[in-house]
Amino acid sequence: MKIAIPTEQGQLYGHFGHCPQVTLFTLNGLDVVEVELLDAPPHKPGVLPTWLRDKGATVVIAGSMGQHALALLAKFGIRTIVGAPKATPAELVDAYLAGTLLEGENDCHHDHHHHDHEHHCESER
């Protein structure tokens, strides 16, 4: 299993699509065997979900996420958990593995299909 978490300065980054980095945890069963901090690709529709699929991600834990990204991740068979609390990536993975990470409110309600306009999700403010 590989768990991807959008990250900035060692914390969950509020909006999936605009994250500067991704922390990627590789697990063997419940044991973390590798942690990588990767620079995220540029923000363009569909790029980050496709990049994560290519990196082998099976789970994404995020604060908020647009509908286009959610749909692509589902199409790729990647489980998504949105509305995660602000925490370190390691804390989020521990909570996920313990079964205590609950899905919260996804405060990104706009459609990301059209990127010729400015948009801001609540988690970016």
Alpha-carbon distance values, 111 to 66, 68, 90, 115 (Å): 6, 7, 30, 9
pTM score: 0.85
Span 28-43, mean pLDDT?
95
Cα–Cα distance for residue pair 36/67, rounded to 1 Å: 26
Is residue 111 domain-resident? no
CA dihedral angle for residue 49, residue 53, residue 55, residue 59, rounded to 10 degrees = 80
Instruction: Tell me the per-residue pLDDT of 18-27, one tens digit each, with 9 for 90 and over.
Output: 999 999 999 9
Which is higher by pLDDT, 117 or 46? Answer: 46
Cite the DSSP H helix spans in the chain: 47-54, 67-75, 89-98
CATH of the domain at 61: 3.30.420.130
* 68 SS3 class: helix
How many separate helices (H) and strands (E) can be counted in the chain? Answer: 3, 6
Instruction: Tell me the per-residue pLDDT of 40-73, one tens digit each, with 9 for 90 and over.
Output: 999 888 999 999 999 999 999 999 999 999 999 9
Is residue 11 domain-resident? yes
As for how many domains the chain has, the answer is 1
Span 29-50, mean pLDDT?
94
| Containing structural domain, residue 43 | 2-105
Angle at 9 between CA 114 and CA 122, to 5 degrees: 40
Pair of tokens at residue 56 = 């082998």
Worst-scoring range by mean pLDDT, 48-52, 60-64, 106-110, 114-118?
114-118
